[in-house]
Copies of this chain bind each other. A is one copy, B any other.
Amino acid sequence: MNIKAYMQTLGSQARDASRIIAAADTALKNTALLAIADALSDGRDKLLAANAVDMQNGSANGLDAALLDRLELNAPRIDAMIEGLQQVAELPDPIGEVTDLQDRPSGIKLGKMRVPLGVVGIIYESRPNVTIDAASLCLKSGNATILRGGSEAIQSNQAIADCISQGLSKVGLPEAVVQVVNTTDREAVGELITMTESVDVIVPRGGKSLIERISADARVPVIKHLDGNCHVYIDDHADLQKALAIALNAKTHRYGVCNAMESLLVAESVAKTVLPELAALYSEKDVELRGCDKTREIIASAISASEEDWSLEYLAPILSIKVVAGLDEAIEHINNYSSKHTEAIITEDQDRANRFIRQVDSSSVMVNASTRFADGFEYGLGAEIGISTDKIHARGPVGLEGLTSQKWVVYGDGQIRQ
């Protein structure tokens, strides 16, 4: 198989299909989503059979239990994919609306129309449900998609791709609106991320090393999520009950998520009051505490935090704690060590809250709320394709709108430039 030629063909088909899906109206896109849901429902046996092959190969190749769990398809997971398609069908269509209309002195009327990006490349790891998630969001936002899943899920992804093709054909849309790369050759990824003529943006989903590798080699723009080293800062003027509840929730609600708190900053004036109570709460949950010297004077059980700890995303029941002089040191620490994902201040002082909001350079900045709220569903986006830690284009939770662009629209009546 000539990988380069194969990928170029996918790209050129996707470009053609992108023009058709960009012009499709909301009803047609929604009918397509529901037709894909029907095809998945009708194809359950084939999906399970294909997945069984992947699971068998995965076991034989020594995949660990966690990876096998992510790879597995079963009845509830197929139901969840079907439900996801139905939910995306119910989301408002971002495409085609003209906003910000204004009359210009020249006599032209100017506005902005929200439009699809064109062709979106998605590169992801083992979970086959991403195939449906990503395809449905791209389809609803009027984009064509080229999906490259993990090699361990190739049979499952191809079976899902067949269902998608059936759904698209049924409503008269070209199958190339959603294409799943049918090779596990790594060269396919290298091609996909450099086909600037036919791919408008790459969205990688997976571990940090995958995303770093893709970002380093891509020539197509990448919307990416690196790590989530999130902070909570308990200010001198904090309500201590809110502080305790939020610091506990942000760390222990779920450990393996990117919006969990990984580092706690406490103003010196309240450290002796708040840290002993917090230490007791974390102890109940078996959270390992790594503190600065001042923290360890208050919490004897905390081990010593190294310089590296301030930058780590643990994704585990571990928390680093630093006592700071106050707001300024907290902001400086966060801007130096944070991954710019999500940070929260606990304070009753509105001026200090505003300074924190203005000066902390992260995609989400919160006052008196748990970092766990940084999420497309909690923000009302309906669904998310990821959380961007980039500043360009889409920042923070990325929903349908992040998969679109705007064009300028000018309505004239014969105006010429003088």
Whether B115 pairs with A361 at a CB distance below 8 angstroms is: yes
Instruction: Enumerate chain B residues within 8 angstroms of A416, measured Cβ to Cβ.
Output: 245-246, 248-250, 253, 369-370, 372
Instruction: Quote the shortest CB–CB distance from A342 to chain B (angstroms).
Output: 8
Residue of B nearest to A396 (CB): B408
Instruction: Enumerate chain B residues within 8 angstroms of A19, measured Cβ to Cβ.
Output: 335, 359, 361
Contact string, A203-224, partner B, CB cutoff 8 A, digits 1/0?
0000000000001100101000
Which of these binds chain B: A43-51, A104-112, A302-310?
A: A104-112
Instruction: Enumerate chain B residues within 8 angstroms of A190, measured Cβ to Cβ.
Output: none
Residue of B nearest to A253 (CB): B417
Bound-complex Cα distance A405 to B408 (A): 19
User: Which 3 pairs from chain A and chain B are nearest by CB?
Assistant: A369-B412, A249-B416, A242-B414
Most interface-central of A201, A361, A397 (chain B CB within 10 A): A361
Instruction: Enumerate chain B residues within 8 angstroms of A115, measured Cβ to Cβ.
Output: 361
Whether A357 pairs with B249 at a CB distance below 8 angstroms is: no
Q: With A104-B380, A373-B417, A392-B117 in contact, is A363–B407 under 8 Å at CB?
A: yes
- A390 contacts the other chain (Cβ, under 8 Å)? yes
Bound-complex Cα distance A247 to B396 (A): 44
Instruction: Enumerate chain B residues within 8 angstroms of A118, measured Cβ to Cβ.
Output: 361, 391
Instruction: Enumerate chain B residues within 8 angstroms of A113, measured Cβ to Cβ.
Output: 357-358, 365
Interface size class of A (residues with CB under 8 A): 35 or more
Bound-complex Cα distance A412 to B241 (A): 14
| 8 Å CB interface, A348-403 against B | 357-359, 361-370, 372-374, 378-380, 390-393, 395-397
Instruction: Quote the shortest CB–CB distance from A313 to chain B (angstroms).
Output: 17
Instruction: Enumerate chain B residues within 8 angstroms of A414, measured Cβ to Cβ.
Output: 239, 241-242, 245-246, 368-369
Whether B367 pairs with A412 at a CB distance below 8 angstroms is: yes
Whether A391 pairs with B369 at a CB distance below 8 angstroms is: no
Instruction: Quote the shortest CB–CB distance from A193 to chain B (angstroms).
Output: 13
Instruction: Enumerate chain B residues within 8 angstroms of A6, measured Cβ to Cβ.
Output: none
Bound-complex Cα distance A365 to B22 (A): 15
Known: A367-B411, A392-B393. 12 other contacts (CB 8 A): A102-B380, A104-B378, A200-B392, A242-B413, A242-B414, A245-B414, A249-B417, A365-B407, A365-B408, A366-B409, A366-B410, A395-B408
Residue of B nearest to A364 (CB): B408
Instruction: Quote the shortest CB–CB distance from A218 to chain B (angstroms).
Output: 9
Whether A365 pairs with B410 at a CB distance below 8 angstroms is: yes
Instruction: Enumerate chain B residues within 8 angstroms of A201, measured Cβ to Cβ.
Output: 391-392
